[in-house]
């Protein structure tokens, strides 16, 4: 029997066999957004429902805004993989996964259609309202797996979701001049950067060396919050954005 959809926004429940019991939690507390990264939505749907692939998501959002549910929300879909956010490893157990039909970087990062983004925003609002998920816990796959994953990519318009009431967003009142921090740099400024990234939620240890891990985490941050230039350099704009976002989280 096909389950009843969890959301009234669902057009079709297309069951995937790739799921299991949530572990250690009774309900999700975050939403993870992905792009499918395949040439067509049909190919992505086939893979997400293929037992041999061992991958799935709770939802699939098509270019025209149609929403397919693949896995019931009370189940653990297999979408996050090896990931970590705010010290938690098993993000599959804590999250709702939404795959967005888009070929992504392999397909040249085409823009996401307006109807699709509106549907994603509406779905995120519905899920967040029902599960009391905080705005700052609507995350990119690249946020929780820096260096391993880069989706939904720098073409994904996070600011449009925020304008529709989804996700965490802030902009600094000003950007103070500061020398950029690059791979190989050391010192207290690097230590402060790493601490600020960790405070936001990224998986990065304390330290005063701008190593390769720091670079990929800065790239992940930029891919979400400074999409125009993703270069792994902690320049003045990146640092100001990080301070503004963390201040907003603290309610400062």
In which element (H, E) is residue 99 found? Answer: strand 95-100
Catalytic residue selected from 43, 46, 99, 183: 99
CA gap 233, 210 in Å, rounded: 10
Is residue 154 annotated as a catalytic residue, yes or no? no
CB 221 within 8 A of CB 197: yes
CA 7 → CA 82, 83, 117, 163, 216, distances in Å?
A: 27, 26, 17, 22, 35
Cα dihedral 124, 119, 220, 235 sign: negative
Location of structure tokens 């805004």: 65
Backbone angles phi, psi at 120, to 5 degrees: -60, -45
In a 13 Å sphere around the CA of 230, the CA atoms on its Cβ side amount to: 19
Active site residues: 99
């Amino acid at each position: 029997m096909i389950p009843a959809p969890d959301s009234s926004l669902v057009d079709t429940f297309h069951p995937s066999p790739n799921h299991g019991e949530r572990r250690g939690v009774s309900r999700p507390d975050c939403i993870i957004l992905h792009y499918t990264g395949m040439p067509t939505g049909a190919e992505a749907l086939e893979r997400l429902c293929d037992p041999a692939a061992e991958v799935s998501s709770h939802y699939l959002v098509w270019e025209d805004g149609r929403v397919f549910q693949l896995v019931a929300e009370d189940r653990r879909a297999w979408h996050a993989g090896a990931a970590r956010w705010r010290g938690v490893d098993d993000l599959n157990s804590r999250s709702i996964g939404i795959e967005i039909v888009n070929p992504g970087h392999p397909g040249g990062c085409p823009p996401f259609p307006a109807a699709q983004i509106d549907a994603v925003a509406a779905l995120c609002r519905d899920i967040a309202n029902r599960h009391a998920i905080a705005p700052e816990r609507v995350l990119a796959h690249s946020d929780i797996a820096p260096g391993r994953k880069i989706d939904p990519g720098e073409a994904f318009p996070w600011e449009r979701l925020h304008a529709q009431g989804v996700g965490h967003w802030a902009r600094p009142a000003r950007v103070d001049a500061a020398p950029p921090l690059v791979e190989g740099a050391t010192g207290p400024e690097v230590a402060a950067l790493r601490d600020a990234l960790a405070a936001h939620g990224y998986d990065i240890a304390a330290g005063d060396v701008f190593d390769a891990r720091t670079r990929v985490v800065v790239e992940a941050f930029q891919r979400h919050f400074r999409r125009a230039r993703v270069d792994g350099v902690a320049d003045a704009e990146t640092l100001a954005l990080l301070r503004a976002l963390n201040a907003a989280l603290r309610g400062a």
